[in-house]
Amino acid sequence: MSHTAGPLPLRTQRATRLWSGIVALSLLSGVGVPTAYYAFGTAQLQYLIAQCPAVQGASYALWTLPLFLLACTMLLGAALIWLVYRLQVGLTAEMEGRMQALVATLHEATSASERRSRTAEALAAVGRALSEALDPRIVAQRIVDSLLALLGVQHAALYRLDGATGDLVTLVAARLDMPAFGQNFILPRGTGVAGLAVDTRRPVTTPDLLTDPSIVLTPDARARIGQAGYRAVLAVPLLLQDQVIGAVGVGDHVGRVFTPDDIGLVESFAHHAAF
């Protein structure tokens, strides 16, 4: 024996058609249930929800779903915008840093190349002076003048070692504002930066010889240095056949730190001066 389902009550049929229209409108148009609510009529929708309590939960879910998706989309968009901005800022800062480093490297390379060229020219001039058998003072003067120009220091001097006393006698000395001053000035044995360089047979540097405890100065030398205005000093011994015959020194403003390149340059001229 079979049973055939009868037609749905008229109230249920109306509610089903009305709710189907609301859902279809909401899903197809992307609007929420409130908009569909007004499209189908306030009274009918209220009647539908009142007659079908189960619809109330579905109505709330369908109304909040589009808003939830919209909020997620907005948050995702904001996150992407923030990420792109941070990437752009980071890349820009990194590129600027690399460009600055590149410019600094090129500047240093250019300066180093120019300095090497000028040094080679100055050494060649000193070599020509030696080959022409000029007076030792003339050769020494060219050396200290070259050191003034190449290193940009305030003072340069070349000393000869007195074999009998061990004192250093200034052969020539020069500074930017008073060329050829202080000739025949004597540094007693073991005093000054030049004296220490002679004793140790190696280059000696100090950023401030007036406060350096390793540097011994006579009252006269201390007074002269105070008047001259230079306090950072680099001195290199003059060696001829492994014998110390003098020293060459340069001085500049307090605090200057002489680099290995500076030391190498002075040593190159010291090698020429020893001959």
Q: What distance separates the 2 farthest-apart alpha carbons in the chain?
A: 144
Distance separating alpha carbons of residues 266 and 245, to the nearest angstrom: 16
Please name the helix (run of DSSP H) or strand (run of DSSP E) that holds residue 171, with its range, or none: strand 168-175
Domain residue extents for the chain: 9-107, 134-273
* Residues 6+ away with beta carbon under 8 Å from 26: 32, 33, 35, 36, 62, 66
Q: How far apart are CA 263 and CA 126, in angstroms?
A: 18
Distance CA 260, CA 266 (A): 10
Per-residue pLDDT, 194: 95
Radius of gyration of the chain (CA): 46
Take residue 115 and report the two structure tokens written for it: 């300095």
What are the tokens at 88?
A: 């752009």
Tens digits of pLDDT across the chain (275 residues): 445 555 555 555 555 555 555 554 444 444 444 544 444 444 454 544 555 544 444 444 444 555 556 666 777 777 777 676 666 655 555 555 665 665 566 556 566 666 666 666 666 666 665 556 567 788 888 888 888 888 889 989 999 999 899 999 998 888 755 544 456 788 999 999 999 999 999 999 999 999 999 999 999 888 888 887 789 999 999 998 889 999 999 999 999 999 998 999 899 888 876 65
d(CA 43, CA 270): 109
Q: Which residues contact 275 (CB under 8 A, 6 or more apart)?
A: 130, 240
CATH class of the structural domain 134-273: alpha beta
